[in-house]
Amino acid sequence: MPTITKLYTMKEVAEHNSDDDCWIVVDGKVYDVTSYLDDHPGGADVLISATGKDATEEFEDAGHSKDARNQMKDYCIGELDPTPPIPEMEVFRKDDPLSSFFTSKTAKVWAIPAAVTVLGVSIVAAIIYARKK
């Protein structure tokens, strides 16, 4: 039967960063090491300070044994979501010079009536010119 892997974003993982709720990321996998903090031979502090980032390098630098790597499986709760975050959408900005011009008082009082007048005069002129032909 296929297993469903739970995916977590680094932001979610980073929220678990204390001595009563501690998650770490090693090699793309997420580990809840809360219950292991007191038993970790390298100490609890080293695990707590490894939260909120990819701790693979620190884990490897500590030269963990095969036994240590086998123990990790007991604490694995999922994987880091490899999907890049969706870029922020460009939203309408009230202070955008062009859009704020069209919503401004100046545009309502002067520019829009002026544009309508110019357009009207052009249409009338075009009609007169067409009739003269």
Binding stretches for ligand HEM (CB under 6 A): 24, 26, 31, 33, 40-42, 46-47, 50, 55, 58-59, 62, 64-65, 67-68, 71-72, 75
Find the residue with minimal CB distance to ligand HEM: 42
Those residues with Cβ within 8 angstroms of residue 19's Cβ, 6 or more apart along the chain or in another chain = 37, 44, 48
Q: How far is the CB of 12 from ligand HEM (least distance, A)?
A: 18
Q: How far is the CB of 25 from ligand HEM (least distance, A)?
A: 9
The pair of three-digit structure tokens given for residue 58, joined into one six-digit string: 């620190």
Coil vs helix vs strand at 59 = helix
Q: How far is the CB of 89 from ligand HEM (least distance, A)?
A: 36
Between 12 and 40, whose beta carbon lies closer to ligand HEM?
40
Task: Please report where in the chains the tokens 């005069």 appear, as a residue.
Answer: 121
Between 60 and 96, whose beta carbon lies closer to ligand HEM?
60
Tell me which residue of 53, 57, 48, 56 sits closest to 21, measured CA to CA. 48
Between 8 and 59, whose beta carbon lies closer to ligand HEM?
59
DSSP secondary-structure letter at 28?
T
How far apart, in whole angstroms, are the C-alpha atoms of residue 55 and residue 7?
Answer: 17
Between 79 and 107, whose beta carbon lies closer to ligand HEM?
79
